[in-house]
Copies of this chain bind each other. A is one copy, B any other.
Amino acid sequence: MFEIPDIYTLTSGTSEGTSKLGAFDNAILNAGVGNTNLIKLSSILPPRASFRNRIVYPRGVLVPIAYGSISSDVKGETIAASVAIAISADDGFGVIMEYSGITSAEKAEKTARKMAEDAMKHRNVKIKELKSLSSEHIVVNFGCAFAAVPMWYLNLL
């Protein structure tokens, strides 16, 4: 089985690159998760997971992560990505929402926060805390904006 992650952080990054995938690679490096293997989750913060300001991953590990990302090759375009976590007052269970688009960081983050709030409302779960993060980038050649909730295991730190 896959063990349940017990720690998490929020991170974001932006970058140019020499291709769309290259820009993504540079943005995730910039966000501190670029030397790992990202396994994209759809997207719950496990109960009792504890927040860390930063998680340093060994290179090559398989990282459970929720993220929003946008890559673009339209010069001058403003792109943004955001994640938001609505966290329950009870046991720290949370819903993570991602949003990215041709928009500002501020608008992307507002959208992600609203989505996370709606998700908790729909579950009838009271929100204790709403965490969010966003990034914004103006494309030069190939650009990427990335925002994420990477998770990990306390016993592997």
The residues of A with any CB-CB pair to B shorter than 8 Å are 1-5, 17-19, 21-22, 24-26, 28-29, 35-47, 49, 58-62, 64, 66, 93, 95, 97-99, 111, 114-115, 118-119, 122-123, 153, 156
Within the complex, the shortest CB–CB distance from A118 to chain B, in Å, comes to 5
Q: A3-B1, A39-B2, A62-B64 are in contact. Are A98 and B44 (CB under 8 A)?
A: no
Partner of A60, one of B46, B99, B118: B46
Contact A93 B59 (CB under 8 A): yes
Q: When the two chains form the complex, which single residue of B21, B22, B35, B61 contacts A4, counting CB atoms closer than 8 Å? A: B61
Chain multiplicity (copies): 3
Kindly state the separation between the CA atoms of A28 and B58 in the bound complex, as whole angstroms: 30
